[in-house]
Amino acid sequence: MRNGFTLVETLVALFVFSLLAAAAVVVLGNSADAQLRLSDVSASVQDFQRLRAALRADLAQAAERMPRGEAGEVRPAFEGADGSGRLFAFVRRGWENPGGAPRASLQYVEYRLENDAIVRRARPMVDGAAFGEPAVLAKGVSAVDVAYRAAPDPTPGAVATADWRAAWDPLQPTILPLAVRIDATTARFGVVRQLFLTQVPL
């Protein structure tokens, strides 16, 4: 009986081992790629969850309060897109003040599309103050279409129908939309539509 392996047996064993190693590398590579894709998708989902939470909290507390701009000019209570990247801006109630700072419970907020991201800006004071640092809420957004739900026309004899408008230009500057619809175009999910009511209890 011979001891050890022949050259042919050794070569066969090495060949089988190399096949198993190559298969393991492929499996590990696919697993790593899948994990990376899952991580990216999870981050994108979290972005939109954060965006939805912020929009819901802000729009549900929209106030019929006309603010003043940085130059002191009076602005409408709710403003839509202006072509500069702004999606809409308004005053909200219920701004939490856990530190007891000397300020009102109202806050002026603005949502914008900047550098393929939806950001939220706010002023420390409603009237005349400059904006603070923007908060990035959702990345990877190439375009945003906003529509506003208007209240039915209260004029006697008018048809009692509400409609969606691409622009917000009410007859009175204190009027707020009933709801806001946002269609965000993303590279990962396509168009993501979200609907929000205004002036509703949280």
pLDDT averaged per 10 residues in sequence order, the chain, 202 residues: 67 77 75 64 77 93 90 90 90 75 81 94 86 91 92 58 81 91 90 87 53
Calpha distance 129→101 (Å, rounded): 16
**Terminal Cα-to-Cα distance of the chain (whole angstroms):** 85
Res 92: pLDDT: 92
Q: How far is CA 73 from the centre of its chain?
A: 29
Res 36: pLDDT: 64
Res 3: pLDDT: 63
pTM summary value:
0.74
Res 191: pLDDT: 92
Calpha distance 188→194 (Å, rounded): 16
Res 83: pLDDT: 82
Res 1: pLDDT: 45
